[in-house]
Amino acid sequence: MTLRLGDTVPDFTAETTDGPLSFHEWLGNSWGVLFSHPKDFTPVCTTELGEVARLKGEFDKRNVKVVGLSVDPLKDHRAWVGDIKETQGHALNFPLIADPDRKVSDLYGMIHPNASDTFTVRSVFVIGPDKKLKLSITYPASTGRNFEEILRVIDSLQLTAKHSVATPVNWKSGDDVIIVPALSDAAAKEKFPGGWKTLKPYLRIVPQPGLSK
């Protein structure tokens, strides 16, 4: 199945290291990140899961629930978590889905047979509180992801959802943002009474809304 931005993400039930999970119900009104890693007891995956555990507080602050997945069985996940704590200094603090029958992997198109017909690639899905897909990225098995980048995109998505702004190239939280083209100048005046800088009629720059002074 090819999932595209704006699609409602498929619901599923699965076994995880935190017990059974019913995906849509578990997400509730939160944002979600579902990410796959190719295999348990592999080096890159071990570093990634330790890093996501380290960043858990950052995901919580943004009202984002995180869940990992690999096609290995629960008993392997359970045996592996000790290695993550030992080598990365952070114990797993979010659920890991066991998907040995590839039910979830197939639903989300996480197996790319020309890369490997046995293991998932490194997929990342960011899901909004409306259960719609907001972002998907696919990395090769050999490249560990940058989860600070995932947080950066979530910050951008949440700003757009709340304030009708978009974020420019290389933006990071605190930098100026762009008023979305769909907002007329008249409507923008109401939202941004402090004004903005017009570089072109379609390129209107405004300080990031919602920053505490």
Task: List contacts with ligand BEZ (CB under 6 A).
Answer: 38-39, 42-45, 141-142
Provide the phi-psi class of 140: left if phi over 0, else alpha when psi is between -120 and 50, else beta: beta
Show Cβ contacts of residue 148 under 8 Å, excluding neighbours closer than 6 positions: 55
- Residue 24's φ and ψ, nearest 5 degrees, are -60, -40
CB 100, min distance to ligand BEZ, A: 17
10 DSSP assignment: P
CB 49, min distance to ligand BEZ, A: 10
CB 76, min distance to ligand BEZ, A: 14
Query: What is the β-pairing status of strands 13-16 and 19-22?
Result: antiparallel
Show Cβ contacts of residue 128 under 8 Å, excluding neighbours closer than 6 positions: 31, 134, 157, 161
Q: Is 45 a catalytic residue?
A: yes
Catalytic residue among 34, 45, 53, 165: 45
Task: Closer to ligand BEZ by CB, 44 or 154: give it.
Answer: 44
Q: Mind telling me the catalytic residues?
A: 45
